[in-house]
Chains A and B, each alone.
Chain A
Amino acid sequence: MATSSFFIHPSVGFLALGLALPFLRGKEWRYLLLLPPLLAIFAVFTMGMGSHCTLNWLGATLELGRVDAFSLIFAQVFAVMSLAGMLYALHVTDRLQHIMASLYVAGGFGCVFAGDFLTLFLFWELMSIGSSFLVFCNRTRESTLAAFRYFLYHTAGGLLLLAGIVMRYKATGSFAFEAILPSQMEPYNWLILAGFCVNAAVVPLHAWLPDAYPRGTVTGSVFMCAYTTKTAVYVLMRGFAGWEILAVAGTIMAVYGVLYACIENNARRILSYHIVSQVGYMVAGIGVGVAMTINGAAAHAYAHILYKGLLFMGAGCLLYAAGTAKLDKLGGLAGRLPWVMLLYMVAALSISGMPFFNGFISKTMTIAGAAEAHRTWVALGLEIAAVGTFISVGIKLPYFAFWGGKAPDMTRELKPIPWNMYAGMSILAFLCILQGIFPDILYAYLPLPMEHPYVPWTFWNVLQAFLLLGFSGLAFYLLRRVITPHEGLNLDLDFFYRLIGRLALACISRPLAWLDDIWTNAYRTVGIRGLLALASATNWFDKKAIDGVVDGTAYAVGGIGRFGAKLQSGDLQRYIGMAVILALVAFALVWYLG
């Protein structure tokens, strides 16, 4: 496409926007929001393969621009998503959200192109900061606390990663970010894996996701659903392909997520558990490690960003218009929000793997690959998850949001949804359908070559998909009264995270408080009095002794200066006379005595 040396780092535009936004005046800054995504799309399509932007910093080589098939496919979908997301967020007037979203997206691009662990870590933390603020920006007590927990948790994950990186550097002497073979079971590799798994929401480290994402802003959650987890998928794909534990963990994630999604009430929490489930597909694909499953994971990531973004956008529209995302409070809205429903259904059918949509061409590749590699339980688990996905996201969510067995609700007050939200959703919906019908536009970017190309559009595949989905739908219909959502919080593993957090706090703060009490007492009785005595002694010394000497010297020097200045009498004859005499005296002294 272009020369191999052309490279613009797509995060440049976002960083510039994020840094410049606080200083711009007026209302026209809104139009700038779409420029970085457009620049990023341009950059992604014109960049040449290879390694760009290597810097030397404190003796380590940082590689900011490693472009190969893996990073390119992720960067491409990140760029497209950033455009849709920014378009969706165009109506938001709170600048902090835009700044943080820009920094967050910049971090995502940076991670994808990082060629070494240091760069990766830097952008990893940038993403963590950006996303914490996107949760905070709702400015309610609930969101603030959620943002705090999110940030703490991700910082802990980042620390695991950092520990692994540093130990790895000490052991191997290099920061280069390359594939780590499953046979290299050193502790530092496990630490790095753990750090990655936090962001990838691998069960049991996943509970931050359903805790934080539903509490983010309407537009912020759209960004968040795309970048954090997919960046983690990318780094796992690059670093830990073929690790058996990932195959197991991924399958567990896939099923775990849909099980919780069946019983949740908050629409965005259902979608958050779905992220866990879908990322499970990708992680399992990476764990199995053959070319078809890794390609499947990449394709799935691409498709997932598109349809998950659209799902969150749809749920976001519901939240924006109706003021709540709780399914038990919604219902009967199909007539009043028809386009939201239709666009949502495009994504819902995509995620379920319905033919004609892009989920069909990506999910089936992973499952087929797993089966071909004789990982029967993995494939089975993923099929179970597919059933659950369709039931919860494909039917339950839209049914209870838009119909719910209730009469059409004409009296409820709905905020009008601005045009840009529809525009953002339309872009993603269009792409979902386009990729579903023409799978090759996605398959062209798959990173690994396969022995035989995967063809999704076969009669059997289509039939199997329809059978699976159709009869899952029947199950829903039969148990539709059972699955009705009710208000309530379902306990998840974050119960244990909070417990551990509180225990740690108690372990540290109680002894310290006790120690502090003793110290304060001692300080008050002995310390303060002694200190005051010392202070008055020093004060006396300073005033009498030091100031006396310093001020005296200063006055003396000043006096000499005044005397010297008197030589400047203003009288020209005196000037010339003094100049000549003094000069000749100086010369003579040096000549004769020097």
Chain B
Amino acid sequence: MFDPGPFLILMRYCSSLWLKVYFGFLGFLLLLNIFLRPHEPHFGLDSWFGFWAVFGLGVGLVMIFVMKRIIQPLIVRKEDYYGDI
């Protein structure tokens, strides 16, 4: 049975290469977005160039930051807070 395990461990050592591939892919997508736009935009704005990229990045950043740095400190308790463990 083919075992991809060692291959994956190897890949970790070239993780910077994978990152470069990834950023290149993102750039390629942005390039495509100049030419390719939706025919029927869902809410007007989304037919603008780069809307979805900004949306994805922005929402992601806001979400992670707000939840992890602001909300979680307010609601986190120790594991056994309710006494059920």
Contacts and interface: CB of A to CB of B under 8 A. Distances in A.
Are A and B a genuine interacting pair, yes or no? yes
Interface stretch (A5-13, A278-286, A380-388): A380-388
A145 interface: yes
Interface string A470-483: 11111111110011
Interface in A480-528: 482-483, 486-492, 498
A463 B33 contact: yes
Contacts of B55: 383, 387, 468, 471
Contact of A379 (B12, B36, B42, B60): B42
Contacts of B39: 460
A145 B3 CA distance: 41
B26 A474 contact: yes
Interface stretch (A255-263, A288-296, A433-441, A549-557): A255-263
A470 B56 contact: yes
Nearest to A495: B82
Nearest to B60: A475
Contact of A338 (B8, B33, B52, B65): B8
Contact of B61 (A339, A470, A479, A490): A479
A146 interface: yes
Given A335-B9, A468-B56, A475-B57, A391 B64 contact: yes
B84 A141 contact: yes
A380 B5 contact: no
B81 A489 contact: yes
Contacts of A341: 8
A471 B9 contact: no
Given A334-B12, A339-B4, A391 B60 contact: yes
Given A259-B67, A466-B29, A474-B57, 14 more contacts: A145-B84, A263-B67, A336-B5, A338-B8, A376-B42, A376-B43, A379-B42, A379-B43, A388-B59, A408-B9, A467-B56, A470-B29, A472-B57, A475-B60
Interface of B: 3-9, 12, 19, 22, 25-26, 29-30, 32-33, 36-40, 42-43, 46, 52-61, 63-65, 67-69, 71-72, 75-82, 84-85
For the complex of A and B, the 5 pairs showing the least CB-CB separation, nearest first, are A475-B60, A471-B56, A371-B42, A335-B9, A467-B52
